Copies of this chain bind each other. A is one copy, B any other.
Amino acid sequence: MFKRITLQFENQVARVTLNRADKHNALDMLMFTELAAAQKVIKRDRHCRAVIIDANGDDFCSGLDIKSVLTDRLAGLKLLWKWHPWQPNLAQQVSVGWRTMPIPVIAVIQGRCWGGGLQIALGCDFRFTTPSADFSVMETRWGLIPDMGGNRALMELSRRDIAMKLAMSADTFDANEALRFGVITEIHDEPLAAAKAFIDSLCQRSPDAISAIKTLYQKHWLSPLPRILRRETWYQWRILLSRNQSIAVAKQKGKDKSYQRRQSW
Residues in A lying within 8 Å of B, measured CB to CB: 80, 82, 85-89, 92, 96, 99, 104, 125-127, 139-149, 151-153, 155-165, 167-171, 182, 185, 198, 201-202, 205-206, 208-210, 212-214, 216-218, 220-230, 232-237, 239-240, 244-249, 252
Chain B residues in 8 Å Cβ range of A225: 96, 99, 149, 152
A161 contact from B157, B159, B163, B240, Cβ within 8 A: B157
B159 near A92: Cβ-Cβ < 8 Å: no
- In the bound complex, how far is the Cα of B147 from the Cα of A126, in angstroms? 23
A151 near B228: Cβ-Cβ < 8 Å: yes
- Show 5 residue pairs from A and B whose CB-CB distance is below 8 angstroms, ordered by the A residue: A89-B233, A143-B244, A143-B252, A151-B217, A161-B185
Nearest B residue to A243 by beta-carbon distance? B143
B143 near A227: Cβ-Cβ < 8 Å: no
A246 near B143: Cβ-Cβ < 8 Å: yes
- In the bound complex, how far is the Cα of B169 from the Cα of A225, in angstroms? 23
B80 near A233: Cβ-Cβ < 8 Å: yes
Chain B residues in 8 Å Cβ range of A151: 216-217, 220, 228, 232
Known: A140-B210, A142-B248, A225-B96. A168 touches B85 (CB 8 A): no
